[in-house]
Structure 1
């Protein structure tokens, strides 16, 4: 009997060793799983903290203009030695680009955003018309709603071609006195214009022949600059940190698809049917044909000391900023009126329109119009400071509208995330 028990125990020994080995392997595997799970959790926690640090960096850039342009600045967010960020503030057209990189050891996170300003008192108004000792005259079905900065002569109504006024005049409580000068653009506006005009000298410049479509370029990298000494006709699909430059004429065809792209040229023509989100900086002329749609936050700007011109044809929609400006200070009356903006009937603009010259305004504006002088042409005559069959209504502008920091000194906010 004792011999049988010993034999049974000896026969069970391999089984016990096998089970013990399996248990040991399972325990090791479980320890490994727990280890790698904790490792992944730790990595995810670090990445989450880096994302928060990136957002904190964006908020720092958003709240201060003291950071130099195009110069990365590194510092520790919480002075604990493990929350390092690199902040870079750059110009991007008439807006400001904020780029932040957060890093800890081998881990890093980065993000870019476009910053813009809240509307100030002028940008919250419907109309600012300089005081040249002439009243604003309304005729036809003209609607103006919102605060208006007007000449001391005020508002009057009149008849043209036998038709009187049938619209709406701002209440007296919404009327303010303007001055003989337009609200100034920030000095940085002209500095940026000069910078982009000379962009062909940039180290990143490439001949336009190297441009390929479709192409997307990150705002976390240096901009790609494509230039040509000749006229350019552009089609294709481009997105991101790309600058298209020519010292001549650039034509955007209806088939072009552009998003967040910057265009710098002497003259820009946007063909009928084009739709995109762009910024245009022209040194002479901008012509926007009919049925063009520029989505928010687009900006169309022309600036020249020799006189500049912009025309927006019928049934086009512009969402963002329209600026016509002569950087020369203390212009004579004759010189100031070399700068002109023509907005044709059935155009819809949402945002902010600024013209340091003459505006013939026949469209619809949901936003703010700032002008030195208005004029109106009819088949029989030319009228100064007249509006006829138009609408200017700042209350219809989207509440989330932000303007350029070069137009408003109000606090900045995130206009859009880029990368």
Structure 2
């Protein structure tokens, strides 16, 4: 009986020792795997960040470019960088792979404003200086015809603004046209002519669609969707590397929220109360109704294509806001018909450009660049007049990053990760 008990105790102790030993072996093995995975992830993260930094120093390209970089020349740390123009901004996708593990990041980047893009107002040279009326306030450098600013009554409104008419340097305008990026304009014209690349994705993947949402990664080729496509009518959310297009007018669905995508059509209307973050590229008109919110980085781009079009315009109506870029362009340098209309109580944080005129009755935290400011009232049309307007370039966010479509510093800055 005693021997049997001793044998039982030995068996139990042996079992416990075996369990403890196997546990230690398993833990050691698992720990080594975790350490190896952590080292691999740390290495890939380091290489990914190095790839992002490298992408920001690559020369600009106006087409989709894919480049493989060997970071240390040892064939073990390769980074794939894919970059392209995305509307008025630029996009890059960086990926690294090791032992069947891949890390990737896509981001939108642009450029800090410079020179005229950093001014509150930049007008073409003429014999008409700037006139201020009502409760008008201007802060920042101004390029003005003849370097002149005065106060003047308009429609019974006397000047009631600050004693210092312009809180900033006043520089005389020159006859030199403000340079804009012809390559970005050419790409926008290509979209308006529906010159889409044959390599682009034609249909969304099954995993892109979740219930009533469509999210398409920027690591994939561009997805083109016709606005009249039945699939779009069933969606309430659209995000990613997507271009929505139509050869006819687009009246955006108020309930279709768009994020980071591009809308291309002859004309686009944003309905009352619409919210989104997108770029619209048109040739005839862009109308933003009241109470619309277009968050940063959004852009409204009007490229006049039809010379016969008598009234190409971008219009931002009452109590609507845009953070980003408004750009109205015509190849005809003396085409004053290209028009940006910023209605009363509208708000822009960013940059507003027109080869023609701008009627500004709202608030701009940023700057205006145009040939002339055209003030339209119920009784008159006045050239280079501002009435009850606030333009303050110093209130534009210090983190604001624009596009090299307009004068910009030669240094890329990340706008957002996608």
TM-score (norm 1): 0.89
Structure 1 residues 388 and 66 mapped into 2: Cα distance closer, same or farther (>3 Å)?
closer
C-alpha separation in 1, matches of 2:230 and 2:289: 18
- Correspondence 1:115 to 2:119: no
Match of 1:185 in 2: 180
Contact 2:110–2:402 at 8 Å: present in 1 too?
yes
Cα drift, residue 318 of structure 1: 0.9
Contact 2:140–2:167 at 8 Å: present in 1 too?
no
Q: How many residues are matched?
A: 406
Question: 1:331-410 counterparts in 2 under 5 A?
Answer: 331=333, 333=334, 336-410=335-409
Structure 1 residues 339 and 173 mapped into 2: Cα distance closer, same or farther (>3 Å)?
closer
Match of 2:275 in 1: 275
Equivalent position to 1:65, from 59, 64, 68? 59
C-alpha separation in 2, matches of 1:158 and 1:292: 33
Cα drift, residue 282 of structure 1: 0.6
Cα drift, residue 359 of structure 1: 1.2
Structure 1 residues 337 and 16 mapped into 2: Cα distance closer, same or farther (>3 Å)?
same
Cα drift, residue 357 of structure 1: 0.2
Q: In structure 2, the residue corresponding to 1:337 is in which secondary structure?
A: coil
C-alpha separation in 2, matches of 1:405 and 1:48: 34
Q: Mean alpha-carbon deviation: is it higher for 149-158 or for 197-206?
A: 197-206
Match of 2:314 in 1: 310
Q: In structure 2, the residue corresponding to 1:152 is in which secondary structure?
A: helix
Match of 1:287 in 2: 287
Match of 2:221 in 1: 222
C-alpha separation in 2, matches of 1:24 and 1:162: 98
C-alpha separation in 2, matches of 1:66 and 1:375: 36
Q: Mean alpha-carbon deviation: is it higher for 117-126 or for 155-164?
A: 155-164
Match of 1:142 in 2: 136
Structure 1 residues 135 and 66 mapped into 2: Cα distance closer, same or farther (>3 Å)?
closer
Match of 2:156 in 1: 162
Cα drift, residue 161 of structure 1: 3.0
- The CA RMSD measured in Å over matched residues stands at 2.6
In the alignment, structure 1 segments of 5+ residues that lack a partner are 1-6
Match of 1:3 in 2: none
Q: Mean alpha-carbon deviation: is it higher for 98-107 or for 21-30?
A: 21-30
Match of 2:327 in 1: 323
Q: Mean alpha-carbon deviation: is it higher for 129-138 or for 226-235?
A: 226-235
Q: In structure 2, the residue corresponding to 1:185 is in which secondary structure?
A: coil
Q: Mean alpha-carbon deviation: is it higher for 175-184 or for 353-362?
A: 175-184
Q: Mean alpha-carbon deviation: is it higher for 191-200 or for 132-141?
A: 191-200
C-alpha separation in 2, matches of 1:231 and 1:370: 40
Q: Mean alpha-carbon deviation: is it higher for 238-247 or for 77-86?
A: 77-86
Cα drift, residue 182 of structure 1: 3.6
Cα drift, residue 262 of structure 1: 0.7
C-alpha separation in 2, matches of 1:68 and 1:43: 38
Cα drift, residue 249 of structure 1: 0.7
C-alpha separation in 2, matches of 1:311 and 1:338: 13
In the alignment, structure 2 segments of 5+ residues that lack a partner are none
Contact 1:252–1:271 at 8 Å: present in 2 too?
yes
Cα drift, residue 14 of structure 1: 5.6
| Residues 247-286 of structure 1: CA deviation (Å, up to 9, x unaligned) | 1111113222111121001110111110111110111111
Equivalent position to 1:12, from 6, 10, 16? 6
- Correspondence 1:244 to 2:248: no
Structure 1 residues 129 and 84 mapped into 2: Cα distance closer, same or farther (>3 Å)?
same
Structure 1 residues 230 and 237 mapped into 2: Cα distance closer, same or farther (>3 Å)?
closer
C-alpha separation in 2, matches of 1:377 and 1:95: 32
- Correspondence 1:44 to 2:38: yes
C-alpha separation in 2, matches of 1:136 and 1:76: 56
Cα drift, residue 221 of structure 1: 1.0
| Residues 6-50 of structure 1: CA deviation (Å, up to 9, x unaligned) | x96786356435533542343133112211221122112211221
Contact 1:245–1:263 at 8 Å: present in 2 too?
yes
| Residues 168-194 of structure 1: CA deviation (Å, up to 9, x unaligned) | 345586111222244111122212212
Contact 1:137–1:385 at 8 Å: present in 2 too?
yes
